Amino acid sequence: MDNASEIQKESGRRLNLAVLREPRNLAILAFVAGAIFGLLVLGWWLFPVAWENATAQELRPDLRQDYLRAAIDSYSLNPDELAANRRLDALGELAGDTMATVAASPGEQNVESIAHFQMLLGGEVAGATQQVGGAAETESPLLGTGSLLLTMCGITVVLGLALGAIYFVRRRQGEDGRPAALKARDFTRGAQQTDYGVAGESAPLSQWMTTYLIGDDLFDDSFSIDSPAGEFMGECGVGIAETIGVGSPKRVSAFEIWLFDKNDIQTVTKVLMSSHIFRDDAARERLSAKGEPVLSSPGVETVLETETLQMVARVVDMQYGEGALPEESFFERVTLELAVWSKV
């Protein structure tokens, strides 16, 4: 039971990491987080929109009718055309429709008053354009009006997504415009796998090639280990363990090679280091916490063993990057071969 629980936890952890490292998923998470923060936190909680001195045009239809009926009653008692026009102007482009509704359903109101009001002011109703007592939003003391704040939040989310997409695309692309991970496959296909049968050794259960190319900042390759009958036995892979310097793309100075056995509660790891990192006692000691340090060089092999599995990781080819950083401190390209045997 303990082994099964550990297997599930380890597989779940690696699956979650792989999913979160996908640029598309990161963009979706950024959009959702931005929308929630902008609309709910800022728009609804901190700086909600509040209206003051709204015109009759912003009222519900039934309240607009009540407003117009009151204006008609006022005009019947005090026939001030200027005041009546101001009240009608407050209804804006909805004045005509509201007048028609009131005239069609006068209710308890005097029909003659409605007709007289409509006859005297009908021309002004159709052409009313002057805005009186316009609606004014209550300005936030920090960021201006509520509607402006919501607009800014939306613009920020869109710009963030656009910049994030551009960042991910640029940092994963090489000079020919293709993503670094795609270009790395060309090196993987051109690498020669080891023929263990020639040396008189048994053929491995599984054998893979993988290539890291600078610019692939999310490099993390993993493989499922299955028995000849198709039974799951474990997993293995390689990912970025350490970088050096700042800026984009990342300058990778060490890789973590790992082997997971479903029959072993511990995942075995080794750290493949650049020459500069390997010679740095402090850096080598710090990375040793992740696994046994191994100096990377073409042809070097390292063995990882668990309860029932054995894996040989071989550096097929590699090239150091050049620049302002120390010599042989980071990798331009590394092609690795992983071969796994069953010990039972």
CA–CA gap between residue 37 and residue 283 (Å, rounded): 40
**Over residues 222-238, mean pLDDT:** 95
CA–CA gap between residue 253 and residue 240 (Å, rounded): 8
% of the chain exceeding 90 in pLDDT = 43
pLDDT tens, residue by residue, 117-126: 777 665 444 3
Three-state secondary-structure class, residue 78: coil
| 92 pLDDT tier (thresholds 50, 70, 90) | confident
- Strands in 220-226's sheet, in edge-to-edge order, are 220-226, 232-244, 251-261, 268-273, 292-295
Q: Which of 5-19, 70-84, 159-173, 319-333 has the highest mean pLDDT?
A: 319-333
Give the torsion through C-alpha atoms of 106, 111, 113, 116, to 10 deg. 110
Average the pLDDT over each of 18-22, 276-280, 289-293 and give the range with the smallest value. Answer: 18-22
Phi-psi region of 133 (alpha: psi -120 to 50; beta: other; left: phi over 0): left
Nearest 5°: phi and psi at 236?
-150, 165
Residues β-bridged to residue 43: none
Q: Which of 135-149, 194-208, 294-308 has the highest mean pLDDT?
A: 294-308
The rounded mean pLDDT for the chain is 80
Q: In this predicted structure, what is the pLDDT of residue 123?
A: 47
pLDDT tens, residue by residue, 151-160: 666 777 777 6
CA distances (Å), 293 to each of 123, 220, 225, 260, 277, in order?
A: 90, 19, 24, 18, 10
pTM, two decimal places: 0.52
pLDDT tens, residue by residue, 6-56: 555 655 555 455 555 556 666 677 777 777 776 666 666 666 666 666 677
Q: In this predicted structure, what is the pLDDT of residue 209?
A: 96
Q: What are 88's two structure tokens?
A: 């009608």
